[in-house]
Amino acid sequence: MKVMKISWEMLKYKPGLVIGGFLSDILFFLQPLAAALITREIFNQLQGTVGWNISINIWVLVLLVLPITLTMRLIGDFIFVFTMWIFILMSRVLLRKNMLDGIFKKPGAVALPDSPGEAISRFRGDIEETMWFVYHLTALISLGIFTGSSFFIMQSINWKITLFVSIPLAIMMVMVFFTRPIFTRLRKQRRKAAGAVTRTIGEIFRSVQAIKVATAEDNVLNYFGHINDKRRIAEVKDEFFHRLLHSIYNTAIYLCIGIILLLVGSNIQNNLFSVGDLAFFVGILGSMGEFIWDIGDIVPRYVRTKVSLGRMFKLIKSEDEDVTELDLAKHGEIYIKETFPQIQMLKLEDKDRLSNFEVRGLTYTYPGSNKGIKNINFTINRGTFTVITGRIGSGKTTLLRTILGLLPNDGGGLYWNDKLVEKPEEFFVPPRTAYTSQVPRLFSETIKENILMGLPEESIDVKEALNLAVINKEVEELTGGLDTLIGSKGVKLSGGQRQRLAAARMFARNSEVLIFDDLSSALDVETEQRLWKRVFARESSTCIAVSHRPIALRRADNIIVIKDGKIEGQGKLEHLLDTCDEMKKLWEEKILGSTHLTASSHTN
């Protein structure tokens, strides 16, 4: 993981703010140096020892200590808030934006390597860790300037005492350096434990009904308490080890002060070391120790940041070799002050409108198995209705997802108007294609927002989309109409209403090809007939549908029968019933059987 390169890219994102923050740190860290120098001169004058070459009244010096140091600190803090702190906040937004962008560019079926809860922890804790490391790089430089200046003054006063004082600080730095493997292990355990808690919270909220039906509340709470105990133990270990080293650092500072007190006695008697020099050494050591601590701390912080960046990159990593770790820090607008660009409805040029769509030798096999689709070939012409049918697990949905680029194909090609589609996941989107999955994904928003999905309302005919999906009257009868909140995942709607609302969202895109995955599975016969009638009434309507329903099969211009991931037959229904054994069995076992069952239930 290229930690330093990513950090450098982040620092280049807003160089003006970074420079301002760097200057604020210099003011902040030079404040104790100024205070120590003034204090030294005060004690030297009280002792009668020659200090600065210029003569300044002692009362003037006393009055200068507090105002100068406070002013430098306040100015440093003020500049920091309006520079470096704003840079940190903006950079967090940039990292989150780039991570989301990377996730959305991946095939939808493999978007997240872990659970949503685990991903959220990376958007929060890992980004925090990364940005504090970036900031500490600049702070380390300014603190280094302060420490270098302090060492120069100290050795000019007495280089031997300076040398002895440096030994405990150097030992502390070496010790912190060699403890980095422990830091790495403890931080990984802490992140893993925190991610497990976040993941479990998400799973509990998604499965409340299943937990209550199974009366498993106590078991779930016990498990949740168990993983929280693991998180507590991991965090305590990590924090304890960090605090232990910090206490050693404080001990080293007091040891340095003790060394000074042991060495300065005879030097003060011989006028080789003044009381003011002693006050300067003691006053500056604490701040110098901070630099030594930060030098040692930057190593474990680097390791923790490397872990965090690795977890973040895992979210956006894909088969595309163009995606690298540096994409996490890719510069771009974050639209804090800038006007957020309005989403526009995409429109196709006439040359890009569908004439024919061809699938040649399309193949996909699920990793670690022999399941999938093999050598699929068929052609779809504009204005035709194609139905894909087959038994459960035959590969129907896999075929649709591979066509759409939601699954990466292992072989074959897709041709739009006789031109090879290089990146299906980017090409097969509205307004070329629109897709409704077997299990529709709805959001806890209003009906209107679920259809628009961010598009400007004036660019979409929402009422026409609802009419095509045969859900317009039901929406009108709702108290809030289009502004009715449908609850989490559309929980306030029936299964058929959820499917039709998802279909309305698809119709609203006015795409060249409409792709349905078993759309009518939750619809009654009458509603299904009206839906297909309205779809077919559209001019030049081109559809691909996974279905086993009689109305769809009878209306289809071409039926593709899938068995074990391969095409068993193609053609119109009458042709397949004469030539395809699999189609005959499906028609007799499932289609006619379900039709008779439906008729019987209506009779009763």
Nearest to 343 by CA among 254, 435, 459, 439: 459
pLDDT band for position 604 (cuts 50, 70, 90): very low
Question: 189: exposed, middle or buried (C-beta count within 10 Å: 0-12, 13-18, 19+)?
Answer: middle
Task: Give 347-388 pLDDT, tens digit per residue.
Answer: 788 878 899 999 999 999 998 888 899 999 999 999 999 999
Among 34-43, 398-407, 585-594, the range with the most confident prediction by mean pLDDT is 398-407
Kindly state the average pLDDT of the residues 95-106: 88
Number of helices (H), then strands (E), belonging to the chain: the values are: 22, 10
Has residue 167 got a pLDDT over 80? no
- Give the separation between CA 283 and CA 301, rounded to whole angstroms: 28
pLDDT band for position 144 (cuts 50, 70, 90): confident
Q: What distance lies between CA 136 and its chain's CA centroid?
A: 23
| DSSP SS3 for 391 | coil
Has residue 145 got a pLDDT over 70? yes
How is residue 348 written in tokens? Answer: 């196709």
Task: Give 235-270 pLDDT, tens digit per residue.
Answer: 898 888 877 877 777 777 777 777 777 777 666 666
Domains of the chain: 3-318 (1.20.1560.10), 354-430+548-597 (3.40.50.300)
pLDDT value for 255: 76
* Percentages (nearest 5) of helix, strand, coil residues in the chain: 65, 10, 25
Which DSSP string corresponds to 28-83? HHHHHHHHHHHHHHHHHHHHT----SS---HHHHHHHHHHHHHHHHHHHHHHHHHT
Q: Is the separation of the CB atoms in 594 and 524 below 8 Å? A: no
Give this prediction's pTM. Answer: 0.73
- Helix (H) / strand (E) element for 385: namely strand 385-390
pLDDT value for 79: 87
